[in-house]
């Protein structure tokens, strides 16, 4: 599917835009990857916040093996400083900076070998392959379970406000993470009470409204089940 509209893409930083365009235009290895996560959600769909990283996922076996040479070549061609900061079997992280623009923040770029289980249809935005919000949504459910970062809670809140059905996202997330249960997820949602501020927002959202909405969702999840039975 081809994406339409480019207004949210204005939220990409110059370095994000430059890196994305060059990767997808100049390296056929990137045909196996797609942009996902909060940057995809904010900068290609909803425009609700700013994001300072790039998450590029693949389901192709061994696709990560080519990435170190791709990133090294990108740095040489574009005059960028590229440093590999993490190197794992299923994830490689790079820090990209522009020596000609020392005021620009360092860009974190992650390449991840993802699960084969995917949902929705990826979209092509001027040559950049971008994940479907539905698939990003199920990943955000898993992210809330695995870490406590305000951006994940905000992204989930925005997805629900945009009409995505929580039960569908949750059911699909359970196909990715077998440890996900309604009781456990409700407990994780309650961590929203510890947030005093939101990430770098474009939309005018109040932390109190996000908190109230997600706490209400947690309550609804608990009302549907017997917590003692769920923990068995």
**38-74 per-position pLDDT tens digit:** 999 999 999 999 999 999 999 998 999 999 999 999 9
User: What radius of gyration do the chain's Cα atoms show?
Assistant: 18
Helix (H, G, I), strand (E, B) or coil at 91: strand
pLDDT at 4 over 50: no
This prediction has a pTM of 0.92
More confident residue, 221 or 229: 221
Question: Does the pLDDT at position 231 exceed 80?
Answer: no
Q: What is the mean pLDDT of residues 172-194?
A: 97
What is the crossing angle of helices 166-176 and 133-146, to 10°?
A: 70
**Dist. CA 200–CA 48, nearest whole Å:** 9
Q: What is the rounded CA–CA span in Å between residue 41 and residue 131?
A: 8
Alpha-carbon gap, residue 33 to 2, rounded angstroms: 16
Q: Where does the chain have alpha helices with state H?
A: 14-26, 37-41, 67-78, 133-146, 150-161, 166-176, 182-189, 207-223, 227-230
pLDDT of residue 145: 94
> For the segment 106-115, what is each residue's pLDDT rounded down to a tens digit?
999 999 999 9
CATH superfamily, domain at 1-131: JHP933, nucleotidyltransferase-like core domain (3.10.450.620)
Segment holding 85, helix H or strand E: strand 81-87
pLDDT recorded at residue 7: 61
Residue-wise pLDDT for 77-119, tens only, equals 999 999 999 999 999 999 999 999 999 999 999 999 999 999 9
> Minimal CA–CA distance to 10: which of 37, 55, 53, 42?
42
Strands 91-97 and 33-36: unpaired
Tokens of 51: 């994001």
How far apart are alpha carbons 146 and 169 in whole angstroms?
16
């Amino acid at each position: 599917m081809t994406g339409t509209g480019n207004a949210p893409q204005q939220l990409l930083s110059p370095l994000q835009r430059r890196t994305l365009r060059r990767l997808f235009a100049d390296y056929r290895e990137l045909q196996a990857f797609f942009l996902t996560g909060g940057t995809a959600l904010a900068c290609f769909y909803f425009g609700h916040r700013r994001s300072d990283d790039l998450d590029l996922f693949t389901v192709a076996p061994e696709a990560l093996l080519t990435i170190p040479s791709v990133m090294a070549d990108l740095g040489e061609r574009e005059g960028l400083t590229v440093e590999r900061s993490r190197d794992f079997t299923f994830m490689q992280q790079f820090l990209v900076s522009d020596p000609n623009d020392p005021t620009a923040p360092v860009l974190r770029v992650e390449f991840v070998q993802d699960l084969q289980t995917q949902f929705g249809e990826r979209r092509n935005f001027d040559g950049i392959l971008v994940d479907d919000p539905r698939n990003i949504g199920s990943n955000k459910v898993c992210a809330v379970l695995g870490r406590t970062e305000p951006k994940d809670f905000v992204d989930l809140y925005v997805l629900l406000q945009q009409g995505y059905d929580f039960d569908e996202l949750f059911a699909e997330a359970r196909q990715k993470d077998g440890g996900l249960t309604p009781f456990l997820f409700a407990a994780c949602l309650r961590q929203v009470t510890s947030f005093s501020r939101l990430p770098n927002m474009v939309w005018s959202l109040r932390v109190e409204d996000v908190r109230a909405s997600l706490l209400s969702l947690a309550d609804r999840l608990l009302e549907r089940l017997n917590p003692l039975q769920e923990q068995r």
